[in-house]
Amino acid sequence: MSKELATFAGGCFWCMVKPFDQMDGIDEVISGYTGGHVENPTYELVCSETTGHLEAVQITFDSTIFPYEKLVELYWTLIDPTDPGGQFYDRGESYTTAIFYHNEEQKQIAEQSKKRLEESGKFNKPIAVKLLPAKPFYPAEEYHQHYYKKNPLHYERYQIGSGRAAFIQQHWGNKHE
């Protein structure tokens, strides 16, 4: 059994948990903040756009069951990879996209996957997702953890109202139903 970490920023972290959480080989998905210069940031501080942090999820996974390549492929289907200014309704640096790699192998896999997506012709704009070395990850406040379970109706309304659900349906189909 090989436990590893993966960290992805994809806009609102509420929307990034459920698809990973439901996969075999995924042990834990934590919402939090990474990439910035402030230790132990709060949600309010990150939203102020002064910390450099992005909302992200950190995933503990068993790579023998769910390899990193599959995590990256799933990640692409959860976001608009061409938007450099945020994700859907959520704008600003804290809602931008990034793959935070934890080692050289993850970096190479992410680079290759990004290149395949760029060359696929699926999008007519450049892929804006940054590939960055992992930095300290700070778990978000408890009320943000597994939001889709704690507030299922609000979560569904947010997915639809933000435009995320329609974008995913249009570009990726029913992968997450």
Tokens standing for residue 68: 């990193």
Q: How far apart are CA 20 and CA 157, in angstroms?
A: 20
Residue 52 CB contacts under 8 Å (≥ 6 apart), including other chains: 35, 36, 37, 38, 93
Known active-site residue 47: no
Q: Exactly one of 7, 8, 11, 12 is catalytic; which is it? A: 12
- Beta-bridge mates of residue 87: 90
From residue 105, alpha-carbon distances to 39, 71, 79, 149 in Å are: 27, 14, 23, 33
Pick left, alpha or beta for residue 144 (phi over 0 → left; psi -120 to 50 → alpha; otherwise beta): alpha
Angle at 69 between CA 6 and CA 131, to 5 degrees: 55
Which residues have a catalytic role annotated?
12
